[in-house]
């Protein structure tokens, strides 16, 4: 099983290029990030080339987080701002060879205007992504942590994918969020697998290292291997102490996934 370090939460004491190097030294197979825009794209690209790690994805800028923003793409009164941030994210991804852009929906009233706005902005993002061979991701996020988030379950995400019918558009399935909102992770992943572009993990309920809590990730990752999932698993958790002190789960998860692979 190939594992990715989410540098939005891991190695955050380091500048992004150094965090990429640290993730490689720790044994991760890839990296991903949240908002790298303050870091020179050339420095990120150089660190990726030096380590040989792919950068799987980044997020669109969420807006004014101090004012409660958590994304812009489903906000009908902020279309220009949302599209400018989509352009910035796609341009940064293209410049650094990052593979995917997660378009953050934001907090809404859940109404038809917000949904129409989100779909229109996703179409705009897909048009830009197509030019660069990028993937656009949408992520259902639990409403306990992010009250009012426009996209909070996989049924909604699937309806969007089916309606837009864009090959560039995939679901980012975060097991932490979906355990809180839905549960039944293995069955849901199996059903949605062709529509999933990336999977992330963290302990539930504390969002710490994926080695305790109510989800048995050693079992779940073995099931992913049995399903033939060939993508990366993103470690998007908040370390309970330091990143390095909490990495004991890495080798155990690799061994479990290998043990459960079907014989060919």
Q: Which listed residue (85, 168, 209, 236) is catalytic?
A: 236
For the domain that residue 189 is a member of, what is the CATH number? 3.20.20.150
Which of 13, 59, 70, 51 has its CA nearest to residue 32? 59
Question: How high is the pLDDT of residue 230?
Answer: 92
Q: Is residue 102 part of a domain?
A: yes
Q: Which residue intervals of 52-184 are DSSP H helices?
A: 79-96, 112-132, 154-164, 175-181
Question: How high is the pLDDT of residue 256?
Answer: 58
Question: How high is the pLDDT of residue 254?
Answer: 67
Question: How high is the pLDDT of residue 48?
Answer: 98
Q: At what angle do helices 185-192 and 217-227 cross, to 10 degrees?
A: 20
Residues 133, 115, 79: CA angle, nearest 5 degrees: 65
Question: How high is the pLDDT of residue 259?
Answer: 52
Which of 78, 46, 47 has its CA nearest to residue 61? 78
Q: Is residue 91 part of a domain?
A: yes
Tokens of 117: 């706005």
CA distance 213 to 215: 6
State yes or no: is 139 an active-site residue: yes
Which of 105, 112, 195 has its CA nearest to residue 141? 105
Q: Is residue 264 part of a domain?
A: no
Question: Which residue ranges of the chain lie beneath pLDDT 70?
Answer: 254-264
Q: Which residues, at least 6 apart from 180, have a Cβ–Cβ distance to it below 8 Å?
A: 142, 144, 145, 204, 205
CA distance 253 to 74: 37
Which of 194, 105, 207, 201 has its CA nearest to residue 156? 105
SS3 217: helix
Tokens of 82: 């949302």
In sequence order, what E strands does the chain have?
2-6, 30-32, 57-59, 100-102, 135-138, 169-174, 196-201, 232-235
Q: Is residue 242 part of a domain?
A: yes
Q: Is residue 181 part of a domain?
A: yes
Q: Which listed residue (139, 158, 209, 214) is catalytic?
A: 139
Q: Is residue 74 part of a domain?
A: yes
Strand duo 2-6 + 232-235: pairing: parallel
> Cβ distance 121 to 103 under 8 Å?
yes
Tokens of 62: 């969420």
Q: Is residue 226 part of a domain?
A: yes
Domain boundaries, position 238: 2-259
In this structure, what DSSP letter does residue 107 have?
A: B
Q: Is residue 233 part of a domain?
A: yes
Interior/surface letters 210-247, b for 16+ CB within 10 angstroms, e for the rest: bbebebebbebbbbbbeeebebbbbbbbbbeeebeebb
Name the domain count of the chain: 1
């Amino acid at each position: 099983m190939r594992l990715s370090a989410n540098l939005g939460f891991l190695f955050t004491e380091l500048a992004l290029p150094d965090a990429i190097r640290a993730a490689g030294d720790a044994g991760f197979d890839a990296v991903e990030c949240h908002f790298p825009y303050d870091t020179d794209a050339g420095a990120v690209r150089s660190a990726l080339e030096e380590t040989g790690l792919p950068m799987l994805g980044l997020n669109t800028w969420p807006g004014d987080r101090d004012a409660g923003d958590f994304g812009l793409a489903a906000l009908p009164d902020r279309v220009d701002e949302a599209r400018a941030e989509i352009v910035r994210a796609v341009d940064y991804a293209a410049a650094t060879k990052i593979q995917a852009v997660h378009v953050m929906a934001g907090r809404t009233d859940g109404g038809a205007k917000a949904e129409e706005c989100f779909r229109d902005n996703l179409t705009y993002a897909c048009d830009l992504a197509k030019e660069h061979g990028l993937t656009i991701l949408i992520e259902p996020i639990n409403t306990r942590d992010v009250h009012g988030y426009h996209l909070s379950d996989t049924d909604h995400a699937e309806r969007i994918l089916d309606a837009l019918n864009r090959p560039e558009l995939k679901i980012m399935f975060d097991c932490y969020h979906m355990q809180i909102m839905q549960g039944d992770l293995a069955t849901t992943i199996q059903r949605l697998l062709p529509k999933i572009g990336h999977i992330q993990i963290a302990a539930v309920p504390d969002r710490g290292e994926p080695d305790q809590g109510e989800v048995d990730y050693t079992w779940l990752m073995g099931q992913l291997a049995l399903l033939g999932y060939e993508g990366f698993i993103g470690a998007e958790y908040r370390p309970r102490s330091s990143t390095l002190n909490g990495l004991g789960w890495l080798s155990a998860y690799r061994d479990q996934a290998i043990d459960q692979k079907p014989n060919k």
